[in-house]
Amino acid sequence: MLQLHKYLRIRGALVPHLFPFSPPPLPPPPLTTTTKILRPLSLSLPSPSTVKMSSLSQSAPPPPQPPVAKKVEKPMESFGDVRVDSYYWLRDDSRTNPEVLSYLAQENDYTNSIMAGTKEFEDQLFKEMRGRIKEDDTSAPKRKGEYYYYTRTLEGKEYVQHCRRAVSDSKTAPSVHDVMPTGLEDPPEHVILDENVKAQDHQYYSIGTFKVSPNHKMVAYAEDTKGDEIYTVYVIDVETRELVDKPLTGVTGYVEWAGNGALAYITMDEILRPDKDIQLFADHLVVHERENGLPKITAYHLPAVDEPLTSLQGGKTIDFIDPVYSADPVESQFHSSILRFSYTSLRTPRSVYDYDMNTGTSVLKKIDPVLGGFDASNYMTERKWATASDGTQIPISIVYKKDSVKLDGSHPLLLYGYGSYEICIDPTFKASRLSLLDRGFIFAIAHIRGGGEMGRQWYENGKYLKKKNTFTDFIACAEYLLEQRYTSKEKLCIEGRSAGGLLIGAVLNMRPDLFKAAVAGVPFVDVLTTMLDPTIPLTTSEWEEWGDPRKEDYYFYMKSYSPVDNVKAQNYPDILVTAGLNDPRVMYSEPAKFVAKLRDMKTDNNMLLFKCELGAGHFSKSGRFEKLQEEAFTYAFLMKALNMIPTLGSGQSSL
């Protein structure tokens, strides 16, 4: 029978717990005031087909008025300091309060009304983005023992199929030159799991992990059907697809098989991340590290078993061609000299390579196809450095279309940032982004402190009582791009999600004059109130990132930057804020309160839109085409703010 291991990670330490076969199912945590679990709300909205689209004219009706949230003062005191939260009532952990749901519905209705005139253009963007996708495609097959494993996408389908084929000659050793045979005489394809079938009865569907057992007879996969990141783990027979044992409920999406066939599932918080990672093979050691803010992969040959390993010398470092890029390991086999890795850049679609560690030879196994005449050589990527207020050099990754962009300040630019949890926002390709670049946009990533791009100290200098470095670094990057005439204040847009949404909220309060438009996705903006509430499950672990505001110095430092606490009576740029009603990481009430307070205090007539989705979690909707629709909406908002929406039937706008 199946043996199960549970691993708990407590501040980075893995503590094993052994369960006998067939443990009792773990119930998911209740959605009460102790949960920090919410998801986007998309309540009943006017059908787009009922909204007439027309350009502005003298006969145009007056613009719709935004909803105004009522004020119910809730005083909160710490260290003799009294804060008054007038919108605390918007927090409803049951997500059933009619008054709260009504307010969110009004915000969605208002957003739809303001964006009604862009619906045709939004549809055009979506069709454009979808048209670049090869809908019927397969991933790079990975040989494991006697089988090739891969995923397949089907035309018109949102999700993938997990498949395998038997190796024709299993006695042949794996090689970087292996090609999976697909002829009629070759072993047939076997579909292990079809996510499209599994997702039929769910508004949201996501597979967290899909792992084949060492003997290739079972598969363990973690399933989330709400977007709340509370997974159920199923173990099925590969051939029959029947359940092998009872599902494990209320766990994370991390699953792994042990060598003896036991199944381990993991609950963890990823607060601490190392500067380096390693992959161990029978005869090689691969070191993944960073140099000048970019990934570096080096393979070392290990000495014989009876020889001591005293130092690493003579390693082979893989060379990459773009000035800014991302390179990550892909699962490889221990008894093999083949390292598989993925490579991408701001202009290079995701590419999978097999690297022979004995010869130093790389073989391209798969590059994601981009339809519509895409040519990577038409785009320019750059690495620039901005100077922060304390003199620190901050890297910026940039991409734009060569022939259509002149660095004279006339082009729109979208600056993206994150800067928390030691997460590296490496430059990666996104086919949908071409809809911006081909319209003259420049896209840039600010690799600010608080992230992990430049090593451990880079992270340490952007957390706790140094968190404001994250915000001032981003402002420095924006000012650099303005000074170098990549764009102008009238055309500079910014975007960030989650902790990156905190970044956007903070810099909007600090320097709203720098930006034309901002997108704050599921933003963590009520930092102080959330971090003062230990009943929220993530709060105590999040003290490792932000600090504990029950200590006076942390309290006042957090208060000085928490976006909700620092909204001012001043002009703000056009702003789009998104949220998720069942998001487990950022409570929907945080962005809701931020928007309500902005509506009450800002002194301009610029757009302030709040879009709350019902059928998704922190990572938005689950289907690949649904995600494109969300991006099309965001891009339409940015272009509306920039007055770049074309007249109906005229095609693309000009700058």
Residue 118 CB coordination number (10 Å): 20
The catalytic residue among 420, 498, 589, 622 is: 498
At 535, list the tokens: 């009943």
List of residues 6+ apart from 447 with CB closer than 8 A: 293, 394, 395, 396, 397, 424, 425, 453, 454
Of 444, 562, 451, 467, nearest in space to 505 by CA: 562
Helical (H) or strand (E) element with 9 = strand 4-10
Of 421, 474, 415, 479, nearest in space to 448 by CA: 474
Q: Is 83 helix (H, G, I), strand (E, B) or coil?
A: strand
Sign of CA dihedral 404, 410, 414, 417: positive
For residues 425 and 279, what is the distance between their CA atoms, to the nearest angstrom? Answer: 22
Radius of gyration of the chain (CA): 26
351 is catalytic: no
The catalytic residue among 356, 618, 620, 622 is: 618
59 is catalytic: no
Residue 194 CB coordination number (10 Å): 18
Residue 425 CB coordination number (10 Å): 20
For residues 201 and 189, what is the distance between their CA atoms, to the nearest angstrom? Answer: 26
379: phi then psi, degrees, rounded to nearest 5: -120, 145
Of 598, 515, 534, nearest in space to 563 by CA: 598
List of residues 6+ apart from 404 with CB closer than 8 A: 438, 440
432: phi then psi, degrees, rounded to nearest 5: -65, -25
Residue type, 22: S
The catalytic residue among 194, 354, 565, 583 is: 583
For 306-451, where are the alpha helices, taking DSSP H only? Answer: 434-437
513 is catalytic: no
Q: Do the Cβ atoms of 149 and 141 come closer than 8 Å?
A: yes
Residue 502 CB coordination number (10 Å): 30
For residues 394 and 449, what is the distance between their CA atoms, to the nearest angstrom? Answer: 8
For residues 51 and 113, what is the distance between their CA atoms, to the nearest angstrom? Answer: 8
Kindly list the distances between the CA atom of residue 476 and the CA atoms of 37, 364, 448, 511, in Å, as whole numbers in the listed order: 34, 39, 10, 11
Maximum CA pair distance of the chain? 87
Task: Give the DSSP letter string of 493-525.
Answer: EEEEETHHHHHHHHHHHH-GGG-SEEEEES---
Q: Do the Cβ atoms of 535 and 631 come closer than 8 Å?
A: no
Terminal CA-CA length for the chain: 66
Residue 283 CB coordination number (10 Å): 16
What is the set of active-site residues?
498, 583, 618
